[in-house]
Amino acid sequence: MAYSQDDYINYRILKAEETYSDSMLLVGHGRYNSAVNRLYYACFYIVSALLISRGLQAGTHNGAKILFFREFVKPGIIQPAFGTLYSNLFDWRLEADYSDFIDFDRATLEELIVDTRNFIHTVKSLIIRTNSQGAKG
């Protein structure tokens, strides 16, 4: 079965929302490092959906980050604070997954959950605007 661009976008949006929900479950069980991983992936999935909506594709996580900054943060389409959040989660996910003696705490995760929710909402709104403008044009 062949999938359309919209199928990929919608799938990535759903993955972002599902993964975000997973992070909240993990925080509720005191699994803060794993929650950082899920928050990063929630952002990665929504950024991937945004890139696909603009006809852009990245072959790596770092490539997605570079394209996101070049195409959306640097031109001012996305707030710099969201760029910082995405970049920090990228780094923290690596630390949480691969470094020893890295332990995130509940207070940090509670803040990151709110920031990530806002990130997902903002990027999703941009995807919807992009798709609705494309449909009119």
Overall pTM > 0.75: yes
* pLDDT value at 2 more than 70: yes
Concatenated DSSP letters of 48-103? HHHHHHTT---SSHHHHHHHHIIIIITTTSS-HHHHHHHHHHHHHHHHHHH-TT--
- Local confidence band at 40 (pLDDT 50, 70, 90 cut-offs): very high
- Residue 25 half-sphere exposure, CB side, CA atoms within 13 Å? 7
Domain residues for the domain of 47 are 5-136
Residue 128: what pLDDT? Answer: 85
pLDDT in tens, 13-23: 999 999 999 99
- What CATH number is given to the structural domain containing 55? 1.20.120.330
Cα torsion through 99, 103, 107, 111, rounded to 10? 10
Residue 136: what pLDDT? Answer: 43
What is the domain count for the chain? 1
